[in-house]
Structure formats: C-alpha cells, structure tokens
Amino acid sequence: MAVLDTDTLTVSINGTLPSVPFLALKEKILGKKYELSIRFVAPAEAQALNIAHRQKDYVPNTLSFPLSDSSGEIILCRSAMRKEFKQFDMTYEQYLVFIVIHSMLHLKGYEHGSIMERKERALLALFT
C-alpha cells in the first residue's frame, strides 16, 4: 500500500501512488488548514459506499464526504475512472486530476452546474 501523509493530507492506495499534485490541489482549493483524506478503493467498496450514503447502486468514480467545515474525505475508484476518461478527451492522468478537482469543489459546497464547470476548467488548466 502506498501512502502520502502530511499534517493535513493523507492519500492511500493499493499499488503505486499516482503523480498527482494532491497537496497543491488541496491547498489551492480547500486551503492549507483543511484536513483531507483521499482513499482509492476497489469497485465493490465504492459501490457499497454509494448505496449506503446515496442510495445509488452503481460504481462511482468518486464520492466526496464533508466531515466538518475544515475536514473531509474523498473516495476514488480507479477502475471506474479508467472506463470513463476517453469520453472526456483526456489522458487517464488528466482525468484523475479533473476528478480530484471535482471532488474537492464538492467539499467546498459547489453543486453541478456552470459555475462549478468554469472553476473545474480553470483549475485543470493550472494543474495539467
């Protein structure tokens, strides 16, 4: 298991940690003091969490869970992202950065829509 662990960010994955600027993204979007956990999980766990928390029975690419105003957790499913990235005309690595940005914006309180999409595009341009 690969783990990136700082005072305010923990990223855990079975396998190799992707070369995503997780800490820089977190600090830019959520702030330096925000405490964030990012876990890469298997499809079965992602689906079970989706059923338990959203009553939706499918494997999501990401789930965002705000825990407080200053902390949260992001769940990522690599297999779901690998099935989707080509639809977005991105490499897998670009799509992973996009999904992390998307998830962090949800933690900031953004909902799907044009404002969120503009922020996603601007942040993606900064980090890819």
Summarised one tens digit per residue, pLDDT across range 71-93 is: 999 999 999 999 999 999 999 99
Give Cα separations from 111 to 9, 103, 104, 116, 120 (angstroms). Answer: 23, 10, 11, 7, 12
Amino acid at 50: N
Q: Can you give the CATH number for the domain in which 85 is found? A: 3.40.390.30
Per the structure, the complete domain to which residue 63 belongs is given by 2-127
Bridge-based pairing of strands 9-13 and 2-5 is antiparallel
Q: What average pLDDT does the chain have?
A: 95
pTM check: above 0.85 = yes
pLDDT band at 4 (very low <50, low <70, confident <90, very high): confident
Domain count, the chain: 1
